[in-house]
Structure 1
Amino acid sequence: MANPTGKSYFGRFGVHIAVLFFVALWTLPTLGILVSSLRDKDQIIVSGWWTAMTSSTQTEAGRLPPPNTAVERDGKFVLEGNLFEEAGSREITNFGIRAQAPTEFEAGSTADLGDGETLQVNADGGFIMTMPAASDSTRGRRVYYAATVPPRFTTENYENVLFSEGIGRSFINSLTVTIPATVIPIMIAAFAAYALAWMRFPGRALLIATIIGLLVVPLQMTLIPLLEMYNNIGNLFGVSSKTYYGIWLAHTGFGLPFAIYLLRSYMAGLPRELMESARIDGASDFEIFVKIVLPLSFPVLASFAIFQFLWVWNDLLVAMVFLGSGSNQLVLTGKLNALLGSRGGDWEILTASAFVTIIVPLIVFFSLQRYFVRGLLAGSVKGG
């Protein structure tokens, strides 16, 4: 069955289901990272992020006070206290005195420790240990217990990441690299795209073909020649190669072919009548470019800005080559890679670091996403 536009209702329904599936496929991992980054580190280890709103059971260990602090009561020596620093923060379901059997006894029951000693651990963490005689031992007995812990969310993970793990400095480094490396190619490519689309000069077709050919050149093939050339220029003028200027130029060079190709395809599709009318009114090419072409090209400029920003922000290879790996130079991707090697088991640190890494690209994408598809597709149909 079809609607007046000729599209099947079943086909439209299938498209909607497919879109929702891919949106969920993309959103769920991001949501998982966010939830995990806000959870208590002990809860991350024992349960997945989808259980964050429910209580979790953790097996922990504690140590009783030294036996020599026992108080005599009714002919026996008694140790009494609470295993928790904050009474009532958790609920014990089982306890044990051996690591091999940490849940051997139910909470509230009395365990026979041998030699006339007994131990009772209650659900609220309170314990009573009785001994038949005094002891001069200064080492308390270790107790194991399974406790039900309510959901706990905290911002401590982000505080540790931003102020203790050096992520804050790397975050600033990434912004310092990414913003100029996005703006500079757009500025250069916009002028070049207009010239290639609307200006006639010798060698224009060859230049367009060269730019298209550069799109297929692997980045890795150009790194060593480009770095060697840059180092030679730096040595000639006595400038260090590990600077922001070098990585800005590198990202500009790598991004220009695609930027010029994308912007030229769009600008070439703008109505010719607009350009001819402006020229009849006496406007120069620069005035046409600034007052007509640039405002009309905002969707494609935003599309390329998203591409370039995401690529530079997530880059590691170019940053390591042209900027270095020092603590004051390391970008976010490099710092996260270092944390994976040194803090691979600290999931609270890794998840918080990962979300700090992706939050800026998410903001950029959702801010400009309404121009994204329009900018990519607008150049596919030529104007009249």
Structure 2
Amino acid sequence: MDNIAGTKSSLVWTVNLAVIALVVLWTIPTFGLLVSSFRDRDQISASGWWNAAVSSEANEIARAGDADTQLQEGDLWVIAGTVLPEGKGEVSRFGTSSRDPTAYAAGETADLGEGVSLTVATDGSYRLTSTTAFEGRSPRIFFTATTPPRLTTENYARVLGAEGLGRAFLNTMTVTIPATVIPILIAAFAAYALAWMEFPGRALLIAGIVGLLVVPLQLALIPLLKLHNQLGIGKEYIGIWLAHSGFGLPLAVYLLRNYMVGLPREIIESARVDGATDFQIFLKIILPLSFPALASFAIFQFLWVWNDLLVATVFLGNNQDQLVMTGVLRELLGSRGGEWEILATSAFVSIFVPLVVFFAMQKYLVRGLLAGSVK
């Protein structure tokens, strides 16, 4: 009954559910990264992004003020301060030993012996008193802090205000735009020749291009850099343009060739009967009809080059005047990459332009990728 015309196969529902599951699996982590970009380091360390809308509880340690901060009030010596920054939550319990860090409720007074007592209020303020003057190191204060949900734009202000980010943005555009246009121009001519022109060795060239698709670009970095240095274009923009173009050409030629092969042969033959040359056919017929494939590759190449750090580091170096955005954002993360709040924010700052490019050209993406899949 599943094969009767007008009825839907049960496989359709399976495919739809699989697509929904994949969308959810991709969307949830992205949404979590967005939420994390508006949280500070303490919140990220204390709880996951799914707890961003609820209060979080964490055990922390602080040390009371030094002896030189003590004041005398009558017969008592007092050290006062706070274990929490202003407006950063409330203290529910506290203690003076790691064995029992929640021994006392906020507001109670803990007897530390020898005439010393400690009181921690719910707002984090503490009062350490003694019948004799304090000497040496002050005691540690263990406490449980409840932090209310709070979102902040400080992370974005820090990233967008980073020194050299504006220059890095221009450098990234300077690298990305030519590195996207150059391989498209070269690959379009090559794809037309491989699709519609007869010449010896064409099949071997196509096989070679397919083989180049699986070659890791890391294998070519050092030899290519040595060649660039010998030619005098090392650490120059033209060097990285040629590098990105070379790494992107195999996919570009393969994608465009598959698309052009699927174009109606009658159109090309009619143009030749009318006396059109190969260049005229390519320029006035093939290129306009191949725009979906061109747009598909442009999206991929733009994303790869925009998000690149390895190739930019090898062929441009770490010169402050030539750093790309990924290089500047890497420096913001610190030497150990522990700035998680900056990492999440940097991710969304860096994907703004690629998202604009993708949504502007995404309607051509599927048409271009399916080129040659159906005959």
Task: Please report the TM-score for the alignment, with normalisation by the length of structure 2.
Answer: 0.83
* Equivalent residue number for residue 152 of structure 1: 150
Q: Is the 8 A contact 1:242 1:324 kept in 2?
A: yes
Q: Is the 8 A contact 1:299 1:375 kept in 2?
A: yes
CA distance in 2, matches of 1:273, 1:312: 38
Give the deviation of 1:264 after TM superposition.
Answer: 1.4
Equivalent runs, 1:227-266 vs 2, <5 Å: 227-234=225-232, 240-266=233-259
Distance change (3 Å), C-alpha of 1:91 and 1:284: same
CA distance in 1, matches of 2:52, 2:331: 28
Give the deviation of 1:295 after TM superposition.
Answer: 2.3
CA distance in 2, matches of 1:337, 1:82: 35
Letter in 2 for 1:265: N
Q: How big is each residue's C-alpha offset from its partner over 1:107-154, in whole Å with a ceiling of 9 and x where there is no partner? A: 122222333343332223344555446x47698765332221111222
Residue 245 of structure 2 corresponds to residue 289 of structure 1: no
CA distance in 1, matches of 2:48, 2:163: 24
* Equivalent residue number for residue 310 of structure 1: 303
Q: Is the 8 A contact 1:68 1:137 kept in 2?
A: no
CA distance in 1, matches of 2:229, 2:70: 71
Q: Is the 8 A contact 1:112 1:119 kept in 2?
A: yes
* SS of match in other structure, 1:378: coil
Letter in 1 for 2:225: L
Distance change (3 Å), C-alpha of 1:168 and 1:158: farther
Identity over aligned pairs, percent? 61
Q: How big is each residue's C-alpha offset from its partner over 1:338-376, in whole Å with a ceiling of 9 and x where there is no partner? A: 666713332222332333344444443344333222111
* SS of match in other structure, 1:242: coil
Residue 369 of structure 2 corresponds to residue 376 of structure 1: yes
Distance change (3 Å), C-alpha of 1:231 and 1:116: closer
Q: Is the 8 A contact 1:64 1:142 kept in 2?
A: no
Equivalent runs, 1:130-141 vs 2, <5 Å: 130-132=129-131, 135=133
Q: How big is each residue's C-alpha offset from its partner over 1:311-357, in whole Å with a ceiling of 9 and x where there is no partner? A: 32343443333222334434444556666671333222233233334
Give the alignment partner of residue 73 of structure 2, picking from 71, 76, 100: 71
Equivalent runs, 1:183-202 vs 2, <5 Å: 183-201=181-199
Q: Which runs of 5+ in 1 are unaligned?
A: 235-239
CA distance in 2, matches of 1:207, 1:26: 37
Q: Which runs of 5+ in 2 are unaligned?
A: none
* Equivalent residue number for residue 41 of structure 1: 41
Give the deviation of 1:55 after TM superposition.
Answer: 0.7
CA distance in 1, matches of 2:108, 2:225: 72
Q: Is the 8 A contact 1:68 1:138 kept in 2?
A: no
Q: Is the 8 A contact 1:244 1:323 kept in 2?
A: yes
Equivalent runs, 1:117-136 vs 2, <5 Å: 117-132=116-131, 135=133
* Equivalent residue number for residue 224 of structure 2: 226
CA distance in 1, matches of 2:208, 2:137: 78
CA distance in 2, matches of 1:95, 1:270: 75
* Equivalent residue number for residue 270 of structure 1: 263
CA distance in 1, matches of 2:210, 2:360: 29
Residue 106 of structure 2 corresponds to residue 107 of structure 1: yes
Distance change (3 Å), C-alpha of 1:100 and 1:243: farther
CA distance in 1, matches of 2:107, 2:134: 28
* Equivalent residue number for residue 215 of structure 1: 213
CA distance in 2, matches of 1:165, 1:69: 44
Letter in 1 for 2:95: G
Q: How big is each residue's C-alpha offset from its partner over 1:180-232, in whole Å with a ceiling of 9 and x where there is no partner? A: 11111112211222233234456545544443443344434433443333322
Q: Is the 8 A contact 2:61 2:140 kept in 1?
A: no
Q: How big is each residue's C-alpha offset from its partner over 1:56-90, in whole Å with a ceiling of 9 and x where there is no partner? A: 11324263586642434xx766666765553x552
* Equivalent residue number for residue 61 of structure 1: 62
* Equivalent residue number for residue 24 of structure 1: 24
* Equivalent residue number for residue 14 of structure 1: 14
Give the deviation of 1:22 after TM superposition.
Answer: 1.6
* Equivalent residue number for residue 93 of structure 1: 92
Give the deviation of 1:300 after TM superposition.
Answer: 0.9
Residues matched between the structures, number: 372
CA distance in 2, matches of 1:12, 1:24: 18
* Equivalent residue number for residue 237 of structure 1: none
